[in-house]
């Protein structure tokens, strides 16, 4: 049984990095896999939100983004994490196994906690344990993620192995990360050294799936570049992070390789190249944003998709959780 699990935090506007790095791979995998679970991980969002007032509406927006990007609710299970409470039970069981040293090594915790480590919440440190529970609760075999989540998938594989050894049961197989395509790490449009992110305070740092045509054009026009012309091979981009990022976006949207793109624009400045990227975004991203808006207007339909998804996810989760409870020796409830 090949089963995909993929999770997305409803922490703001869904952006091009989320789409090219992970959502689009889920759409492709939908055709190859036996079962596809795609989840709005609202409980994970709570680890970094300072204000929860948009949590529910962002959860609906994320679900709309899945469907608008091509996730078919008839072929995939679309649901909100908090609608399946067993994620938390399994997370607790894993928490009682996970050595603290493993969590202290997580680079995302170091980045997100930053200098405020002592005041960071326990949830931020424990995030990868909940993420392991999200995936292993369904015995998922494939996890499409962007490059930034690679370390967390490694941790969930380690946890699956540790659980099996501790309880002498081969309950969990090791899930495979699916990190593929030319855009596994899309960088900020303002700084080629930082990841494109929902929480970046500058809206000009990212392309949101819901940006209109004018906004797309302005953001690409303003995107940081350098003063050199484009090189004739991708190798020439190695020390030019902003230019490399734009070429990766172009490659991911057009299906051309970075070398083909460099050959096409070699020796030119960035203006024609940027116009072409804008046109690609208008062709591929604008219709997704328009569909998200349409789906959001029919809120009830989205809510019923999430309800059906949660029912299907709960069924699967209950079945697996009974095996886990038995393996760890908990008394069976009558």
Binding test (CB under 6 A) with ligand AQP, winner from 18, 36, 59, 248: 18
Nearer to ligand AQP, 203 or 232 (CB): 203
Q: Which residues in the 295-334 window bind ligand AQP by CB under 6 A?
A: none
Distance (Å, whole) CA 124 – CA 222: 34
Q: Cβ of residue 276: shortest distance to ligand AQP, in angstroms? A: 21
Q: Cβ of residue 269: shortest distance to ligand AQP, in angstroms? A: 26
Helices (H) and strands (E) in the chain, counts: 15, 5
Please list, in sequence order, all residues whose beta carbon lies within 8 angstroms of the beta carbon of residue 222, skipping any fewer than 6 positions away. 189, 204
- CB burial class (10 A; 0-12, 13-18, 19+) of residue 259? middle
Active site residue 112: yes
Contact between 81 and ligand AQP (CB under 6 A)? no
- Strands 176-178 and 76-80, bridge-based pairing: unpaired
Binding test (CB under 6 A) with ligand AQP, winner from 83, 195, 219, 274: 195
Binding test (CB under 6 A) with ligand AQP, winner from 199, 202, 257, 304: 199
Question: By CB under 6 A, which span of 164-172, 182-190, 207-215, 270-278 interacts with ligand AQP?
Answer: 182-190
Which whole-number Å values give the CA distances from 309 to 24, 74, 131, 182, 276, in the listed order? 20, 10, 19, 31, 39
Contact between 219 and ligand AQP (CB under 6 A)? no
Contact between 197 and ligand AQP (CB under 6 A)? yes
The catalytic position among 112, 150, 169, 264 is 112
The catalytic position among 139, 198, 219, 274 is 198
Contact between 198 and ligand AQP (CB under 6 A)? yes
Nearer to ligand AQP, 10 or 231 (CB): 10
Of the CA atoms within 13 Å of residue 193, those in its CB half-sphere come to 1
Contact between 128 and ligand AQP (CB under 6 A)? no
Distance (Å, whole) CA 159 – CA 272: 49
Contact between 145 and ligand AQP (CB under 6 A)? yes
H or E stretch at 271? helix 270-284
Which residue minimizes CB distance to ligand AQP? 21
Active site residue 264: no
Reported residue count of the chain is 334
Active site residue 198: yes
The catalytic position among 31, 53, 195, 222 is 195
State how far Cα 202 lies from the chain centre: 20
Minimal CA–CA distance to 250: which of 20, 45, 82, 36?
Answer: 20
State how far Cα 76 lies from the chain centre: 16
Give the residues lining the site for ligand AQP (CB under 6 A).
8-9, 11, 17-18, 21-22, 48, 145-146, 148-149, 184-186, 195-199
> What amino acid positions are annotated as catalytic residues?
112, 195, 198
């Amino acid at each position: 049984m090949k089963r995909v699990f993929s999770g997305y935090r409803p922490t703001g506007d869904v952006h091009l990095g989320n789409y090219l790095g992970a959502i689009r791979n889920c759409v492709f995998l939908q055709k190859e896999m036996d079962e596809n679970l795609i989840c709005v991980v609202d409980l994970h969002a709570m680890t970094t939100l300072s204000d929860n007032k948009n949590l529910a509406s962002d959860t609906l927006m994320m679900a709309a983004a899945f469907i608008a990007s091509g996730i078919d609710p008839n072929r995939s299970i679309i649901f909100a994490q908090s609608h399946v409470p067993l994620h938390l039970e399994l997370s607790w069981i894993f928490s009682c196994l996970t050595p603290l040293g493993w969590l202290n090594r997580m680079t995302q915790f170091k980045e997100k906690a930053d200098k405020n480590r002592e005041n960071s919440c326990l949830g931020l440190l424990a995030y990868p344990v909940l993420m392991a529970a999200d995936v292993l609760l369904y015995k998922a075999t494939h996890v499409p993620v962007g490059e930034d989540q690679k370390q967390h998938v490694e941790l969930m594989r380690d946890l699956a192995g540790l659980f099996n050894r501790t309880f002498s049961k081969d309950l969990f197989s090791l899930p495979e990360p699916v990190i593929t395509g030319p855009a596994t790490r899309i960088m900020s449009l303002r700084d080629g050294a930082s990841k494109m992110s929902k929480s970046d305070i500058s809206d000009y740092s990212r392309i949101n799936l819901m940006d209109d045509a004018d906004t797309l054009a302005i953001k690409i026009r303003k995107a940081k570049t350098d003063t050199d012309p484009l090189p004739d091979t991708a190798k020439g981009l190695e020390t030019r992070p902003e230019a490399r990022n734009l070429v990766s976006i172009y490659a991911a949207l057009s299906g051309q390789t970075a070398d083909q793109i460099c050959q096409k624009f070699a020796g030119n400045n960035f203006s024609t190249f940027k116009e072409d990227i804008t046109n690609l975004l208008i062709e591929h991203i604008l219709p997704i944003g328009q569909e998200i808006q349409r789906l959001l207007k029919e809120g009830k339909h989205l809510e019923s998709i999430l309800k059906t998804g949660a029912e299907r996810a709960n069924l699967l989760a209950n079945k697996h959780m009974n095996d886990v409870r038995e393996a760890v020796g908990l008394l069976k409830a009558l």
